[in-house]
Amino acid sequence: MAVTHTLTIIKPDAFGAGKSGQIVAHLEQAGFRVVAARVARLTTEQAEGFYEVHKERPFFRSLVAFMSSGPCMPLVLERADAVAELRRVIGATDPAEAADGTVRRLYAESKERNAIHASDSDENAKRESGFFFAEMELIANRQVNER
C-alpha cells in the first residue's frame, strides 16, 4: 500500500484537556509520522469554512461554536494508506460506538466533542492540509511526494 498523507485535528475538547501529547503518541505508535503541526484558534468564519460540507446539517452551528471555542491542533500525518488507517485508528464518530482502543473511545466526551478529526478521502486530505499549512511546509517534511 502506498505511503500517503492525511489531515487530523486534535479538537478543542481534547486539546483543552491536555490530551494532545497522549493522542500524538497514540498516532505515532500506530505508525503515523508527523509531517506538519501547529496550534490554531479558529475564528467562526474559519470553522464554517473548514466544515462547509456540513452547512445544511442540524448540528452545524453547534459544531462551528465548538470548533472555535478554544485552541486546537491540526497535524498532517504520513503512513501507508494514511486516510483509511487514520479513520480506523480514531474510531466511530460517536465514542459510545467507537471500538475499544480507538482514540475516540479513549479520549472523546460525546458525538460532537469527539476529540479528533480525520480526513475522509485523499482529495479532502489535500484540501484540508492546504487549509492549515503552506505548500512549503508540507513539501519540506514529506518523505513521499504525491504531487
- Rounded to a whole number of angstroms, the minimum distance from the CB of residue 136 to ligand ATP is 26
Residue 6, interface with ligand ATP (CB under 6 A)? no
**Does the annotation count 117 as an active-site position?**
yes
Question: 81 is in the binding site of which of Mg ion, ligand ATP, none (Cβ under 5 to 8 A by kind)?
Answer: none
Which CB sits closer to ligand ATP, 44 or 143? Answer: 44
> Is residue 111 a contact partner of residue 139, using CB atoms and an 8 Å limit?
no
Burial class (CB in 10 A: 0-12, 13-18, 19+), 129: buried
Q: Which of 33, 105, 111, 126 binds ligand ATP (CB under 6 A)?
A: 111
Residues marked active site are found at: 117
